[in-house]
Amino acid sequence: MYSITSFPKPYLTYLLKDEHSGSEAEIVPERGGMLTRWRIQGEEILYMDEERFLDPSLTVRGGIPILFPICGNLPDNTYSHGGRSYTLKQHGFARNLPWQVVDQDSGAEAGQASLTLMLESDAQTLAAYPFEFTLLFSYQLRGRQLLLKQHITNCSAENMPFSVGFHPYFNVSEAAKPQLQIQIPAQELYDHLSQTSAPFTGTFDWTAPEIDVAFKTLTAQEATVVDPVAGRKVTLTYDECFRTLVFWTVRGKPFFCLEPWTGPRNALISGEQRIQLPPGDSLETQFVLQVDALN
């Protein structure tokens, strides 16, 4: 049986629930439209920094933040378009703005609990990004699986350049990090910190203060991370629009991030893997997260 309820916490929070599998997902529209929690049989799958979440002046570190219209950052947080200079901060503005709930469905025929949110361009977004748009993002809970669908429409009179991505924070103990079994369909990585490329061997230097790497040449649409200490396997499946995967973690923090991006850092300026959506056109994308127990 699927259900959707809402409650203040302190932001209005929507709870998607599948009683059969014991899976629950919480979504907070006014806090960047983000999914903040995902529990399976009482186990917290995602990490959340509660202090940052409760402070509206700070970006959220945890859950699954939405990245739009850029992923990563731009040099000096600036770019030019039409002879004007614009300021656009890291990962864009979608994760910081309130979204509107436009649809929800938990009926038996749907076979899931689904919540659809919308973000539209306005004076605030146009000051940083001079393109009109409508974003419809749908969260769908199905047992031990989360499906996130995106419908992006260019409402401008010119091509709209952008990237879209997601920043899932998965719970992991610090002691378990060196034991993670990481399968990413790529043979090379790009280190954001050293700005160098290197072969990917399936593991990282876990003694480093920070690991921040991008995989920009993917050979398949699935990546997995097995945590033998927690006894679970995370599978990320994504469509062909997502052409970059980012892995990030910080020493001493109990999380790792495996992030699907449609384009790498600075794509808005460099053009690398940048999407150019024609006027009036829409783009539909999706990715799926599934968590399975090892035993």
Which H helix or E strand runs over 196? strand 196-199
The overall average pLDDT reported for the chain is 96
Kindly tell me if the per-residue pLDDT of 109 is higher than 70: no
Burial of 55 (0-12, 13-18, 19+ CB in 10 A): exposed
Predicted local confidence at residue 54, as pLDDT: 87
Q: What is the pLDDT of residues 263-273, one digit of tens each?
A: 999 999 999 99
Q: Report the distance separating Cα 90 and Cα 35, nearest Å.
A: 19
Q: What is the reported pLDDT for 108?
A: 64
**Residue 158, token pair as written in the block:** 């010119």
> Are 169 and 37 spatial neighbours (Cβ–Cβ below 8 Å)?
no
| Nearest of 238, 287, 240, 275 to residue 69 by alpha carbon | 275
Domain ranges for the chain, please list them: 2-293
Q: How far is CA 103 from CA 4, 115, 136, in A?
A: 11, 6, 10
Q: Percent of the chain scored above 90 by pLDDT? A: 93
Q: Can you tell me the distance from the alpha carbon of 69 to that of 81, in angstroms, rounded to the nearest whole number?
A: 14
Does the reported pTM lie above 0.75? yes
Backbone angles phi, psi at 124, to 5 degrees: -70, -45
First to last CA, the chain: 25
CATH number of 2-293: 2.70.98.10
